[in-house]
Structure formats: structure tokens, C-alpha cells
Structure 1
């Protein structure tokens, strides 16, 4: 199977590298020619346009920074849709809007091609090792067809249901991660201001009911001072904004989500759209005239788990749970 990959940014580049590392035939496309060249040097092929990539490949993957960027790549005159035909498959791995995803998927289906949404979760460090989690929305037949590729890209693959379901779950989980990050920024600042040892504080949270995936990962780069989580403030605003818009469309009167948007709008205005999201703690540091730092924490996260072939995660039902008793 020939695989085309469009979008070689922080996440996409690591996913594309996993495909190459595991022996797949990969053609790449990105607006940054230097990024493209690094993949050519690793054995990938180059496409002159999204359409040419789609014509040359059986499976076309997009991993782009926004719904608008993806729609532009898909629908341009020389875009991916123009190069699709019967039997090809499009995988959307971006964090996107479920309604826009379904609209584009309808256009893909008109060409005779198939569509799946497969956003990832778990951080760039796990994308780099093929140990990231993948949500897969779409019909079961298409899911079964692409599962061998998905288990190369990620360790845990969950079929979430029809198209749109994975996008909803992805923005939901990113919203939860952002809430964790903001609460950790406050907790770590309070600990520092109270004179606590920050290494001890990190361990206390880690072994307690206050622990979370975000603490075990992002708190480390916060306490190092690099704040380099390979995810930026503008992307947080995009993701939480998608979640907030979904909730408003369902007439749900959220209270926390608007506060998170206010916090990150303030952070973006103060530090810039491309500032690392973990540096949202700097708002509190500056107001309290302190630095929240520990000792011996890494500047960047690495995945210390060995790369493994992934597997499908099966949803446990009440009936199955009772049968196992």
C-alpha cells in the first residue's frame, strides 16, 4: 500500500516518521521544503501537489493545524479530492470540527473513495515512538481495512463509531487536558509561594488522587523551565474553542470552558500565539514575582516505553463485565 502524508508539523512529522521507520512506502507533502527534504533523506518520495499525492497513493493522510487548513488542502483545484478515485482512503488525523469533517467526507465519498477520521492523543513524545492513542471514526469495513496502518502509528486504537464521533471525543479530551494544565499551574504556583520543595511537590501530586497524565508529562517541562511540550497556545485556543462551540450548539451552559478560553486568550496576548502552552503558568509567575522551578526535570519529554505493535481497544459493555465475573 502506498501512503501519502500531508502535514509534517510537530505531530504529523512524527507520525510520518513512524511509517517510514516501519518500512512503509510513503510520499510526503508540506509547505516547508526543508521539512520535506528531511523525509526525502529518510527514503520518502515527494509530491508536487496534494492532487498528485492523492493520485499516486492508496491511503492519503492529512495532519494539519486547523479545519480551515485541511479543507483548503482537500478542496483546492489541485487538492486531494481532485486526485481521489474509487478504492482510495482518506484519513484525517487533525483535530477538527465534526461537522466540517463530515462535509468534506461527503465530497470524498462522491469520488468513490472512503473516509476515516483518526485523531491522536497522548503527546508528541508518544507520536514519535508509535505509542500514541488513536480515535477512529467511520464505518467498520473501512476501519478494518486501515487498522494495520493505524497499529503502526499508535499503540491503542479505538473505533469510536460513525464519522464525527472521533472528532467530538478528541476535542473533549483536549478540553480536559487544558483544564488539568490550568489547575496544575495554579497548584504549582501555590506550592512555590508556600515555600514547598518543588520536587517533593511533584512526587506528592504524582502519587495522590490529584495525579493526571498532564501532571506526569507537562509538569516536568514546567518545572524544568523550558515549558516545551511541542504544543502552542494558539492550538489550545483552537481545540478548546471547538469544544466550546460544540457545547453551545447543544445548548449546554458551560462554566469552566469559557474561563479556559479567557486564560489562554490572555496568555496568547501576553506571550504570543506560538508560545508553548505549558508556559501559561508564566501569567501567575509574573504576578507573584516568582519562578516555579524544580531540579533534574527534562527540557523535553521522551517516551521511555519500547515501541510496540498497536492493538484495537474494545469498549467494555455491562453485559461483558457481568460475564467476566
Structure 2
């Protein structure tokens, strides 16, 4: 099966790299010709347009920065959709939007999947990231070989759109974790604690989290580099708020997070690295939240292995039937 990949940015470039590294017949497209050239030099094929990619490939993956970008690309490709074509949306997007575009794909005889990823760019680079997939079971079985090439833990979340809901939910949790880790580290410094010791105390305790064990390290290094920016955080928690609003859930914490990141963007710019939200507290206290011995960026030391489907707890018997 021929796979096309549109969007070779921080995440897309790593996911498509896993496909290419593992021998998938890959065609790529991006507005940045330098990124495309780098893939062509490694053996990928170049698509002159999104239209050509949909025409020539069996499965087309989009990994783009916003729902609007995905819509613009899909409007170009839709006339070429027909039976046997699969659209895989790996962007972090809105549930309603992926359902709308997916319905257009399905109406033309194709199949649609929302399959966002979670776990950080360092795990995307090694093929060890987690992937959610929302689609009918038959389509999931067709694309599972690609998903297990790009990711380690693959979760079939249900119908189209369900993966996007869970993605923005998990990104909300990561954002809340980031803000609380920032506050904890600043309070630790203000209270006279050694930050290396504070990091370990948080790590080995009930207060630990994936975010602490990754983002707190680059915060303490001072680089604050996880290849993710404040505008993307604002988009993600905004999408989570939209899901909550549609479901009439009166959230309390997420609106505060939105205010915090709006303020961070106003102070430092929308393309500021997201862990630098801690600068708001550093500026307010005059404290420098850095410590020796932490990496400037995260790397994944887990060896690359074939991925597998994760069966939700309590559904083992159902999966065996």
C-alpha cells in the first residue's frame, strides 16, 4: 500500500520518518521544500501537490498545525477521493471538524480516521509514541500496520471523532500538569529548597507525572525546549473547552489555564516555547528556576519495537470474542 504524508513539521516529520525508516512506500508533501528535499534524499517520493498525492496513494496522512490547515488541504483532495482511499488525520483537531471532513470522504466511498498522537516529539522520533484511532473496526484493521510502525501503543477509541476528543482531553491534563509543576518548582526555590532534590522528591512521589519527568527537566536546564509552543497549547486547551461547552460541562480549571496562556502569549509571544510559561512566576518573584545536570532536550532511550494494540481495561473478554 502506498502512503502519502502531508505535513513534515516537528511531529509529522518524525512520524513519517518512522514510516520511511521501516520500508513503507512513502510520498511526502509540505510547503517547506527543504523538508521535502531531505525526505527525498532518504528515499521518499515527492508529490507536486496534495491533489496528486490523493490520486496516487492509497492512504493519505495529514499532520498539520490547525483545523483550518487540514480543511484547506482536504478541499483540494476531496475530488480525488474514491473507493479504497483512506484519509488519516493525525493533527490535533476538533471533533466536529474531523467528523465533517470525514463524512465527505466517506460519502465518496473512502474511509476516514482521526489518529492523533501523544507522548512528545522525542517518542515520535523513535516510533514509540502512543496513537489513538477513531474509526470503524474494519478500517482500523487496515491501517493498524502503519500505526504500529509509527507508534508503540495503539488504542482504538471508537467511532470517528472519538480519538480527537481523547487527544484534547489528554493535552488538557498535560497543560494542567505543566502549570502545577511550574508552580511547585518556583515555590520550592522560594522556600529555599535545592531544585535537584525537589525534582527527585516530585519524581518518586505521588506528585509525579509524565510532564514532570520530561518538561520539568528542560525547565530546570533552562532551554525549555520540547518543540511545542504557547500558541499550540492555547489551541489545544481551546479545543478541549469547546468539547466541554458542547457537552454543557461547567469547567473551572481549564478557563484559568486559558487565561494563563493568553497572558503568557501577550508577554512573550505566541511562538514562545510552552514550558516558558514558568517565566510569569520567575518574573514575578525574581527567581531563576534552573539547576545543573538536566538535559536541554528530551531523548527516548526505549528501543524501537513493533507497536501493539492496547485493549482498554475491562474489555479483554469483549476483544477475545
What interval of TM-score do these two structures reach, taking the shorter chain for normalisation?
over 0.9
> Whole-Å Cα distance in 2 between the matches of residues 301 and 289 of structure 1?
27
Q: Which residue pairs with 1:305 in the alignment? A: 302
Structure 1 residue 83: Cα displacement: 2.2
Q: Which residue pairs with 1:25 in the alignment? A: 25
Q: Which residue pairs with 2:62 in the alignment? A: 62
Structure 2 residue runs without a partner (length 5+): none
Q: Which residue pairs with 1:4 in the alignment? A: 4
Equivalent residues in 2 for 1:157-306 (5 A)? Answer: 157-306=154-303
TM-score of the two chains, using structure 2 as the length reference:
0.97
Structure 1 residue 318: Cα displacement: 7.2
- 2:94 maps to 1:97: yes
Structure 1 residue 319: Cα displacement: 8.0
Q: Which residue pairs with 2:37 in the alignment? A: 37
Alignment partner of 1:259: what SS?
helix
Is the contact made by 1:121 and 1:170 (CA closer than 8 Å) also made in structure 2?
yes
- 2:82 maps to 1:85: yes
What do the CA deviations read for 1:175-204 (whole angstroms, capped 9, x no partner)? 000000000110000011111111111100
> Whole-Å Cα distance in 2 between the matches of residues 159 and 315 of structure 1?
9
> Whole-Å Cα distance in 2 between the matches of residues 269 and 27 of structure 1?
39
Structure 1 residue 257: Cα displacement: 0.3
What do the CA deviations read for 1:32-79 (whole angstroms, capped 9, x no partner)? 11111111111111111101011111110000011111011101xxx2
> Whole-Å Cα distance in 2 between the matches of residues 39 and 291 of structure 1?
40
Alignment partner of 1:128: what SS?
helix
Structure 1 residue runs without a partner (length 5+): none
* Bigger shift: residues 270-279 or 79-88: 79-88
Is the contact made by 1:53 and 1:83 (CA closer than 8 Å) also made in structure 2?
no
Q: 1:144 to 1:320 in 2, by over 3 A?
A: closer
Structure 1 residue 294: Cα displacement: 1.1
Structure 1 residue 144: Cα displacement: 0.3
What do the CA deviations read for 1:245-290 (whole angstroms, capped 9, x no partner)? 1111211111100000000000011111111101100110011111
Alignment partner of 2:61: what SS?
strand
